[in-house]
Every structure is written in structure tokens, then in C-alpha cells.
A and B are shown apart, each in its own frame.
Chain A
């Protein structure tokens, strides 16, 4: 019997080593350890062994069974590992092939991106967002902003008229008047929107976008205007951008300023984009004219404020290096798809 058991062990060892895949190994397992396997067969013969040898034989048989199982297990591990390796090798792909879905991404319009960026910055300063009508009364677009009929300041903006009293708004500023005639301070609001000027040449579009800003409250100063707008420029362009304020004129602000930022291309050294000046004009602003406050029903003796208007196209052209304002309205997918 002992020889028989030894034989099984050595045969099992040979068979296991000879297995080249897990399927063959399973066959070996069945052959030796299965229900009708060789170990089971010998187990059945254990009855014919003399009684005194029985424990030793039993023990020996068990040890062989355990040894076979261990061999099987370790072989199985090796084989499984090899098979997994083989599978991975077989599943090798060319990672440089194109993915079919990458082109399917959509885009929001660059003007939307810039508009939202501007709005987000002012939300951080506690501003609200409001929108107003594009077809506007002469009253709100001009008169309440200190531009009476036939005033020379009307030449500053070429206006589209619907009739004598209704115009396409030439700026987002009428919302200043709409807000001030309907709310009391403190007011902090930005107003994004389309505006219209009857001006169509290489550098002008008859439609463009502005973001208007208005802050009215107690003790709001020109210093606040410069501080807020400088912080805005730093966030929009770069933390190290420089700002410069120059005197200007808008009928509804006094004093009025233009804000320049140091050229984002040459950092102030002078280049083609900034026409060698080192500065880029980015927005107009000013202290709300007390005349406007009073016309809108806000007591200029108690309250003061500042207002500003940002040209969205101008900022987008600077930020993205868009050479021509008309590109925003052509809607060529090859242009639009760049703004992911």
C-alpha cells in the first residue's frame, strides 16, 4: 500500500508539472482528488490494511492528499498568472488611436465665458446681477442719464431708433436708472447684456455686449471705484497687472475716468496690441453724477456711488487674442470649438 501511495504522489507531481494550462490542471485534480479519483480509491482500500498500520497509512494518505492539494494550488496560481499575462498581451491596443467621442464636446460662446467670468468676480464683492430691456425708452437710455434731447453728448453714441421715444439701448447704463428709480441703497449690481450702435466697420459691430456696474450707498468714493476695479482687473487678467486711471467724460458720472491696464501681451513694454503705449483701455467708469441720483429719486446729499461699463468683446479679444470683433458673430464652428 505504501508503494501505491508513494506512486500516486510521484505520478501526481509529474502530472501537475506537466499541466500547461488551468483546464489540464483541473483534469489532474479530478484524476487524483475527485470523487472517483485515485486518492479516493485508495481510501476505500484502507479497510484492507492491517489494523495496526491503519493510523500510519491514514496519516500518510492524508499527508499525500494535502501535498497534492498544495502542489495543485501553487501550480494553479502560476498558470493563472501566466494566462492573465497572456490575455493582457493579447488585448494590447494602440493608445494613440482616436477616441470616437472626443469631438462630441460642446462649447459655450466665448462671450458667455467672459461675461460669466466678469460676473463671478463682482459676485465676490457682494454685487447682484440684473438684466433689462434691450429696446428702451429715450427717457431711460438718455434723459435720466443726464443726456437731454439734442444734447451734443448724443453724438458719442450712434443710436438706432424705433421711433422718437424708443431706441435700441446704446449701453447697459439705462439699467442704472431703472434700478435707482426702483430700489433704495445700498445697491451693488452688475448688468450684462446686448447693446446697439449704428456703427459697422472693421473694428465695430452694430451689436456688442457690455457689463454695467453700479454701486450706490453711503460714503462710496472714487477710491472705492479705483480699488474695486483694480481688484477686478487683477482677478480677470493677472495678479500683477497694473491699472491706470485717466480723466474722461460721461454725462452720468462726475468725475469720469477711463481705466487702462498694463498690456497683457508685452507687460507694459510696448507692442503692436497696445500700439506701443504699454497700456490697454479696458473700461469707462466714474462717480455717479449727483444730478442723476437726484433725477432717479436718490438723495445725493446722503448717498453717493460709482458706475462702470465693461465691453465684453474687448476683454474677450484681449484674453483670447481674437483679431477681429466680427468673428464672435460669424459662428464658425472652427472658431467656437476652441473655447472648451
Chain B
């Protein structure tokens, strides 16, 4: 809300600087987002009087003026036609104009000049701030001004405008007059209400128009008044200046009055040209299906039955509270005006304005909520201004179609309760005066205290509101800080799942990976980029109704896409190598369109590139599983976006938990990445359920371990993991470790064959093992391999 200090000053005396006022307002809950100085850019422009005019000796078009700036006489060379005795603004040596132009004293065709006379444009003024300022000429000042004084101060273009952020609970303060009331509280000053007096000149509003409200729940109050003999004219300067200061373009006295009241009182009004109201009727009703109206901005609006419209006897003439119809407005020859001042249900305005995509100052204001007292204030104030501006003759009577409403509300409370909420003993003597300054009277009914809440404070409904109103003025600094002074102790703790995630993150960081965080939404194109088949379940993603763009329009069902994009980004930034991980969620709908909340699966995505291979990624995953005390097994599997020969499913304790592999060359092309990269995606939910957190100390053998190696030749298609599984599952006595340490193929071994070298470790816990025992075990291993895989010893 833009609040010119001069306007506030009309209702409360402001004797502090704008900065101090801003601080005070912040202190009571009104954040000031900006302070705008109407004239801050132009400097050293003062009022002067033309004393003498001489011809320039060297130039026909120039003249030389002697000017009086109060303290001394200076000389200005100008090409403007000046008259002796005129008062004009002059920019002196060192001045800066609104246009950014700097003025220096100097010689013009050989004659000294101390500066330059200014026109409106150079000072940032138009006719709305000063009559004549829009002329393309030096600005002539009419009236009495102090010579040598700052021209902006003299003509009153020196306002300071506060940009105050009004919270949603205080719609009443979206008005100069209620904000002034808060200023009065902050500065401990008196607050003066504006004048609502007006006089009438015969006839009756009931002769001008009939008002019927058909839907009182959407329009709880509708007031109307009439003005005859309208005299359309420009508004006085003070009104125009104020409207301009808050960003509204002045139009004519009648339109300006409604806008002025919108800002001053916060009540949107509408002025109907009575000629446009067919049947001299105003009917407030729901729109009919297929009814349309062209609004003031020229837009054709298709109305729906839940929308409220203002109609005459025949057709809609305005969309209630949002915008008037094309022809309903005030024209140069308007003779009779009906002022509307109504309360419309804020949620209805909000829905209609959204549905029609039609917004106005009026709808914005109604959406926040106007209180019941405001319609009458606004109407009276409008009629007051009509009289003051002599813009027409107010007719007798005011139409008021209204539901019953409460003029004030009572809140019962005790000082004990207030103290309990705030955490310190609050005394009645400090509470009551503060509430009174806020317009809230407090009575004592012997049992409890009763706060009488005025009708404009619709936000206040309970004792907590009383506590808040008190403390925001009294000051939060008065509250002694405590650490749960009166309440129970609690144990607290992270919980197993969060500890698990922390462990995963810390382990991966210690393994050299850097954590990344990507957006949860992504592009639907990612599935094509990753070559997912059309019928893939992964493509079933939740779409947003109002995304910021297609690239961020669905909730991701895989994290691989954003991992590849992150790697591609890093490659483009010349980060030659990288090991990355992301812990995040994928969002898996039960079915689409979404009915219930989807499953949000906590997921781990790994990505490495540059000087890495499949096994460096595998080793990271193995180390992680090791820390989590989970057994890992890989099984080769083709995955649409991975290299056919270098991709695998990951099993943890026999449960499938994810996939890993090298990116498919097609996908590399799709993402325009030139380096091989390796990715894995694992379900953290599953890993969490498999993690073993307890540590049980195992015995350590007192006897030395014995190592043996064995190399066998077998068919190339047999995978090493199967050999290990076979041996590990065969309960060979005292076998503690079994690993593959070398695999190769060669001509000597033969086509379709490979050599696999295995190492074994035997440990006994009760004696030193003999050679015979170990030989026996090795024989058993060899015969297993021979039988199952037709292996031959090499």
C-alpha cells in the first residue's frame, strides 16, 4: 500500500522523519518495504524572479536576464521568451535535473550565464502536479513563492511515499485513514477522522433508481446515492497530486472521487451514468448461463452462474466489485450519477476475478475484505467531496440494502490468560490504555474483562488476538526469554530413518562424492531422452496444473535425468572429473489422475564421470553397502538408458534395490555429452529396511589364516559371481574368504574359454590347520567347479 506522508498527515500529526516513522510502523507490525521521495533526483533548482531582460549582444534569439534569488542577483542567458516580474524555476551552477542533465555556469556566445531556467519536464512535473507544467516551455510559477527557496518545497512536490506491506489479517489498513490510525498509535498522537458532512438539494434517490439485491450472501450490503446536475471538470490539484503519488491517473472530478475514496477509505466505489441504467433499476444477481458482458477494458467476458453481476432492468452493467461494463462509465456529458458503495463476499470476488482473469484495484481490494461500516463512510465521503468540489447536486436519501451485521464484537478474557500466553505478568493498567488507543474499550463485568471490538476489526475473535494487539504496541522486548519454564521435558532424537539418511550422505561424502540437490520437477521429455518404452510405468508422472514451464511441469519418477543434466552442466564448466550423489524423492502415483497422495520414495542417485569406469561405481556402492552391513550382488540386466553390456540390477540381501551401469551411447547423444558416464539409482526405502545397525563383535582366531590360489579354465560366458556363489554356498570347512583376482582370455587358452584365478583364505578358530586339511578343501572346491562349470585346472 502506497501511503504519501502528506496524506497521512491530514489525519494524524507526523512530526518525525520518514525513516523514523517507517521504523515505528515496523515495530507495530507494518513492514515498510520502501520509502520513495517524490523529488530526490533534481537538486539546486530554486525560485527566481526576472528583474531585467536585455538582448544578447551576439545572438538574436537569445536574451540575457538579471534574476533575483533573494540573496543575490544572477545572470541567465536564455532562448525563452521571458517577461519582467515573472517567477520561474532556475537551475543554478552544479544543479542536476530529473533528466540527469547537469547544469554548470559558463559562457553562452560570449556572455556569462549562471544556470538555466527549467520547464516542467526537466523537473519531473506534469499539469497534474502544477498547472502549466506540461507546456513545452519554462514553467511560470503563479502565486507567492520565496525567492531562492527550493522550487519543489515551494510548489509542494516534496512528498515522501511509504510503501507499506499490509498483512492479510488487517485489510482495514489498506486505506490512508486506518493506516493513519495505526500511525497515531505508533507515535502516540491523536487521530482525526475525515469529514463526512454533505448537503442535499431536493428530489430523492428513490426517484432516480430502484435497487434490488437478489443474492445477499454474495452481496451483504448495497448502498446507493444519487447526484444530479453533474458538472464534469478537472479535480483540484491536491486530489490530482495525491492520486498521482499513489500511481493513479487523474481523469475527471467524478472518477477521481471514487479513486480517491478507494485509497483514502479502502472502499471501492462505482459511479454509474444514470442514462445507461435501463429501466432506472439496479439489480444485483447471479449471472445467467451464457450471459456475457464487455468490460471497461474492452474484453468480452463469458459469465457463469456462480458469478455476481450488477444489472439494470435488462442486462449486466458491471461485474460486481471487479469492473464496470463498457458503457456504464462517466462521460463528458454525464448529467446524473448513481454512486454504488457495496460489500461483496471476498471469496466470490476472488473466484470470479480468477476465473475471468480480470483484475482491478477494486477486485484486489474486495478480495482482501471490506468491513460493514465502510460502505456508509465511503458514500458519505463521496457526497461530501461532490459538495466540496461543487461537482453536482446531491439528491435526498440514501439506499441501503443490507443484512443485519454486528457493529461491535465482545471478547471475554482475563489478565491471567493474557499473562499465560505472553509468559510474563501483564497488568491491567498497561493493557487497557493500549487497547483504548487501538479503539478497543475494555469493561470489567466483575468475573472477567470484556473487550469491545469495533466492527472494522473482523480479524479479532479470541483472547490471543487481545494478547497480540497489546504486545505489538507494548513491545516484544519486554518479554523475559525462557526455555520451557513451566512445561514438561521431552526426550527428543533424530529417529532411525533420518539417521540412516545421514549415514548414507556422510559415507558417500567420505568416499569422495559430492552431494547435489536438483529440482523435484522436471520435463516430460526426459523419458524420451532416456529411451523409456512408451508403456513404461516410469512415464506415469504427476503433472502440475500451473507449472512455471514445460521443463518443470511433472514430478520426477526417476532422478537419473537430472543427474545426467548436472554432469553435462559440470562438463560444460570444465570440471573434468566428478563424482556426484543426490538423495531425494521420486513421486510415484498409485494411479492417474491423482486421487490419493502418491508414494514419495526416498531415492539415491549416483553419477560419476572422467577417469572412472563401471567398477569404480561398483566399488562406491559396495563400500556403502558395507557400511550399512548389507550384502550386495549384481545381476546383468538390460536397462533402456544404459550400455547393453555394462548394466546391472543391484540386489541387497537378495532384494532388488536398484540399477547401475554405463550410459548408453544413444542417451549420451540425446544429452549431448561426449564423455562416458556411470549412473546408479537405488531405493533408499528398501535399503533402510535392510540396514543392520547393531554391531555384534565376532571372535578373532588365535591361529594363522592360510591363503591358497587356484586358476581354472572354463567357458567365457560363465560369470565370476556364479563361481563365488557356488563355493560360498557349499559350506567348505573353515573357508573364510573367496575372491576372484584375475580373469583373462588368450589364444593359448582357446576360443570361447577364459582363465579365472581365485584366492581363498582358510581360518580355524580352534587349531592351526594342517596342509592335508587345506588340500582336502581345495580338492573339494575344484571338483565343485568341475562338476558345475566343467572347469579345468590350469
Instruction: Please give the residue numbers on chain A whose beta carbons come within 8 Å of chain B beta carbons, in ascending order.
Output: 104-109, 111-112, 116, 119, 122-123, 125-131, 133-137, 148-153, 155-156, 160-163, 166, 168, 185-188, 194, 196, 198, 200, 206-207, 215, 217-224, 226-228, 230-231, 244-249, 251, 254-257, 287, 289-291, 304, 328-334, 336-337
CA distance A128 to B490 in the complex (A): 9
Top 7 nearest A-B pairs (CB, nearest first) are A223-B423, A221-B423, A247-B29, A150-B347, A249-B167, A255-B468, A227-B481
23 A-B pairs within 8 Å (CB atoms) are namely A108-B509, A108-B515, A125-B483, A127-B490, A127-B492, A129-B494, A133-B600, A135-B597, A151-B168, A152-B171, A163-B594, A206-B519, A244-B476, A245-B479, A247-B468, A249-B167, A255-B471, A291-B462, A331-B569, A332-B573, A333-B514, A334-B575, A337-B514
Q: Are B594 and A162 in contact (CB under 8 A)?
A: yes
User: Which of A160, A196, A198 lies at the interface centre, i.e. has the most chain B CB atoms within 10 A of its CB?
Assistant: A160
Tell me, in angstroms, the Cα distance from A290 to B669 when the chains sit together.
Answer: 58
Cβ-Cβ contact count across A and B, 8 Å cutoff: 265
Contact with A along B163-180 (1 / 0, CB 8 A): 000011111000000000
With the chains together, A186 CA to B488 CA distance in Å?
Answer: 7
Determine if B597 and A133 form an interchain contact, defined as CB atoms under 8 angstroms apart. yes
Q: Cα distance A200–B546 when bound, in Å?
A: 13
Q: Could you say which residues of chain A place their CB within 8 Å of the CB of B63? A: none
Of A107, A122, A289, chain B has the most CB atoms within 10 Å of the CB of: A107
Which of B's residues lie within 8 Å of A, judged by CB? 26-29, 31, 167-171, 346-348, 350-351, 367-369, 420-424, 462-465, 467-468, 471-472, 476-477, 479-495, 497-498, 502, 505-506, 508-521, 542-548, 552, 555, 566, 569-570, 573, 575, 578-580, 585, 587, 593-594, 597-598, 600
A185 to B600, CA, bound (A): 28
Given contacts A186-B490, A224-B483, 15 further A-B contacts (CB under 8 A): A108-B515, A111-B517, A126-B489, A133-B600, A134-B587, A134-B600, A160-B544, A200-B548, A215-B484, A227-B482, A249-B168, A255-B468, A328-B517, A330-B569, A333-B514
Partner of A287, one of B464, B506, B517, B569: B464
Contact check, A152 vs B368: say whether CB atoms are below 8 A apart. Answer: yes
State in angstroms the CA–CA spacing of A220 and B484 once bound together.
Answer: 6
Cβ 8 A contact of A136, one of B169, B487, B542, B597: B597
Picked from B348, B480, B544, the residue with its CB within 8 Å of the CB of A223 is B480
Nearest Cβ on chain A to B54's Cβ, whole angstroms: 51
Asked whether A331 lies within 8 Å of B570 as measured between CB atoms, the reply is yes
Cβ–Cβ < 8 Å partners of A221 in chain B: 420-423, 482, 485-486
Query: A155 vs B519: C-alpha distance in the bound complex, in angstroms?
Result: 23
Query: Across the interface, which residues of B come within 8 angstroms of A137, CB to CB?
Result: 597
CB distance from A118 to the nearest CB of B (A): 12
Assuming A186-B488, A330-B569, A332-B573, is B420 touching A255 (CB within 8 A)? no
Residue of B nearest to A254 (CB): B464
Bound-complex Cα distance A247 to B487 (A): 25
A104 contacts B512, C-beta separation under 8 Å: yes
Which chain A residues lie closer than 8 Å to B514 at the CB level? 106-107, 109, 333, 336-337
Task: Tell me, rounded to whole Å, the shortest Cβ–Cβ distance linking B422 to chain A.
Answer: 5
In the complex, the answer to whether B600 meets A223 with C-beta atoms within 8 Å is no
A255 to B471, CA, bound (A): 8
User: Using Cβ atoms and an 8 Å threshold, which residues of chain A touch B368?
Assistant: 152
Chain A proximity of B320: nearest CB distance (Å)? 15
Q: Which residues of B contact A290 (CB under 8 A)?
A: 462-464
Complex interface: chain B residues within 8 A of A333 (CB): 514, 570, 573, 575, 578, 580
Check B594 against A119 for contact (C-beta < 8 Å). Answer: no
CB atoms of A246 and B516 under 8 A apart: no
The 8 Å CB contact of A222, one of B471, B487, B490, is: B471
A183 vs B510: C-alpha distance when bound (angstroms):
38
Contacting pair A329 B487 (CB below 8 A): no
Complex-state Cα separation, A160 to B547, whole angstroms: 7
Given A112-B515, A128-B492, A331-B570, answer yes or no on A249-B170 (Cβ-Cβ < 8 Å).
yes
Bound-state CA distance A56–B533 (Å) is 106
Chain B residue, CB-CB nearest to A229: B481
- In the complex, A129 Cα to B243 Cα: how many Å? 52
Residues of chain B with a CB closer than 8 A to A245's CB: 476-477, 479
A126-B490, A127-B490, A223-B479 given; A331·B580 CB < 8 A: yes
In whole Å, how far is B31's beta carbon from the nearest beta carbon of chain A?
8
Out of A163, A166, A247, name the residue touching B28 (CB < 8 Å). A247
Question: When the two chains form their complex, are residues A304 and B420 in contact, meaning their CB atoms are under 8 A apart?
Answer: yes
Q: What is the bound-complex CA distance between A152 and B524, given in angstroms? A: 33
For A218, give the chain B residue with the smallest CB separation: B487
A249 touches B421 (CB 8 A): no
Whether the pair A224, B487 counts as a contact (CB closer than 8 A) is yes
Pair B544/A226 contact, Cβ less than 8 Å: no
Check A304 against B421 for contact (C-beta < 8 Å): yes
Residues of A within 8 A of B26 (CB): 246
Which residues on A sit within 8 Å (CB–CB) of B420?
219, 221, 304
Residue among B347, B351, B487, B518 having the largest count of chain A Cβ atoms under 10 Å? B487
How many angstroms between the C-alpha atoms of A289 and B168 in the bound complex? 15
Chain B hits for A289, CB < 8 A: 464
Shortest CB–CB separation between residue A127 and chain B, in angstroms?
Answer: 5
Instruction: Tell me which of A106, A148, A220 contacts B511 (CB under 8 A).
Output: A106
Out of A116, A131, A168, A230, which one reaches B481, CB within 8 Å? Answer: A230
On chain A, the residues within 8 Å of B593 by CB distance are 163
| Docked-complex contact A198 and B548, CB < 8 angstroms | yes
Which of chain A's residues have a CB closer than 8 A to the CB of B587? Answer: 134-135
In the complex, what residues of B have CB within 8 A of residue A200's CB? 548
Please give, as numbers and ranges, the residues of chain A lying within 8 Å of B464 by CB-CB distance.
Answer: 254-255, 287, 289-290
CB distance A112 to B505 under 8 Å? yes
Q: Are B594 and A166 in contact (CB under 8 A)?
A: yes
| Among B171, B348, B515, contact of A109 (Cβ-Cβ < 8 Å) | B515
Residues of A within 8 A of B477 (CB): 244-245
Contact A287 B486 (CB under 8 A): no
**CB-based nearest B residue for A101:** B512
Cβ-defined partner of B495 (8 Å) among A128, A151, A251: A128
A151-B347, A152-B368 known; A224 vs B484 contact (CB < 8 Å):
yes
Chain B residue numbers with a CB within 8 Å of A223 are: 422-424, 479-482, 485
A244–B481 alpha-carbon span in the complex (Å):
12
Contact A226 B517 (CB under 8 A): no
In the complex, the answer to whether A162 meets B545 with C-beta atoms within 8 Å is yes
Q: A106-B579, A116-B502, A228-B484 are in contact. Are A125 and B492 (CB under 8 A)?
A: yes
Q: Are B597 and A152 in contact (CB under 8 A)?
A: no
In the complex, the answer to whether B482 meets A224 with C-beta atoms within 8 Å is yes
Q: Are A188 and B494 in contact, CB atoms less than 8 angstroms apart?
A: no
Q: How far is the CA of A97 from the CA of B512 in the complex (A)?
A: 21
Smallest CB separation, A302 vs chain B (Å): 12
Residues of A within 8 A of B170 (CB): 249
**Inter-subunit contact B350/A150 (CB<8 Å):** yes
Contact A107–B494 (Cβ < 8 Å): no
Closest to A260 in B: B26
Q: Are A129 and B495 in contact (CB under 8 A)?
A: yes
Contact B575 A222 (CB under 8 A): no
Q: Which residues of B are found within 8 Å of A149, using beta-carbon distances? A: 347
Min C-beta distance of B448 to chain A, whole Å: 14
CA distance A123 to B313 in the complex (A): 68
> Which B residue's beta carbon lies closest to that of A259?
B476
**In whole Å, how far is A175's beta carbon from the nearest beta carbon of chain B?**
13
Closest beta carbon of chain A to B306's beta carbon, Å: 12
| B494 surroundings in chain A (CB, below 8 A) | 119, 123, 128-129
Q: Is the CB of A135 within 8 A of B491?
A: no
Evaluate contact between B517 and A109: CB separation under 8 angstroms.
Answer: yes
The chain B residue with its CB closest to the CB of A136 is B597
Q: Does A135 contact B548, Cβ atoms closer than 8 Å?
A: no
Contact B472 A255, beta carbon cutoff 8 Å: yes
Most chain B C-beta atoms within 10 Å of own C-beta, residue among A108, A112, A127, A336: A108
Q: Which residues of B lie under 8 Å from residue A218 when comparing CB positions?
A: 486-488
Cα separation A289 to B421 with both chains bound (whole Å): 11
Most B-side CB within 10 Å, residue of A128, A135, A194, A336: A135
Chain B positions within 8 Å of A188 at CB level: 490, 492
CA–CA, A166 to B462, complex, Å?
A: 31
